[in-house]
Amino acid sequence: MFQKVELRLSGSGGQGVILAAIIMADAAIEQGINAIQTQSYGPEARGGASKAEVIISKDEIKYPKVTNCDILLALTQSSYDKYIASLSKNGILVADESVNVNRDALYKIYRLPILDTAQNKIGTHMVSNIVSVGVLYALIGEDVISKDVMMRSVANRVPPVTVDKNMRAFEEGIKLIRNN
């Protein structure tokens, strides 16, 4: 039975990991369970490290920050290097295939072509955050958030003219896990 999941999404500024985290939290709230999204960022609007966190829980969430990271998303090498130590040993690492990861670990590892899927299947790196949302959603599962609700949150939170591309990106993200 699902109780709680703590996610940390990391990448470089401009990759949209904060929006991805907001969408995850939004869907959970719409589903009627609890969620908190937080972030930390440097002075740069583009480049630099970017980190966002989401806690999704059936119970009230008191402490808003991730203390026991269940799932870590790392889209860049530097974000992997910076946050990998914080991943719980029973956790899941989702890294872009461009990231060199230490295979000698207890946590489960998914090395997936997230950036490549965005660029080459959808046609723009701009949607790599929504490919990531698809990946994370596939890992959390439909029993936590229904697919309808999840898709609505994606559609509501991306720029209106990009909805189609982002819906496709979302589906491609799910496939990356299903076909893995």
Contact 95, 130 (CB under 8 A): no
CB nearer to other proteins: give 111 or 157.
157
End-to-end CA distance of the chain: 24
Q: Does residue number 30 form part of the binding site for other proteins (CB under 8 A)?
A: yes
Q: Does residue number 86 form part of the binding site for other proteins (CB under 8 A)?
A: no
Mark the segment that binds other proteins (CB under 8 A) among 31-39, 93-101, 105-113, 124-132. Answer: 31-39
Q: Does residue number 147 form part of the binding site for other proteins (CB under 8 A)?
A: no
Q: Does residue number 172 form part of the binding site for other proteins (CB under 8 A)?
A: no
Nearest to 11 by CA among 70, 76, 71: 76
And the tokens for 87? 């991943």
Which region holds residue 105: left if phi is over 0, alpha if psi is between -120 and 50, else beta? Answer: beta
Contact residue for other proteins among 5, 17, 20, 25 (CB under 8 A) = 25
And the tokens for 73? 């998303």
Q: Does residue number 15 form part of the binding site for other proteins (CB under 8 A)?
A: no
Angle at 1 between CA 72 and CA 155, to 5 degrees: 55
Q: Least CB distance from residue 26 to other proteins, whole Å? A: 4
Q: Least CB distance from residue 156 to other proteins, whole Å? A: 8
Mark the segment that binds other proteins (CB under 8 A) among 34-42, 107-115, 138-146, 162-170. Answer: 34-42
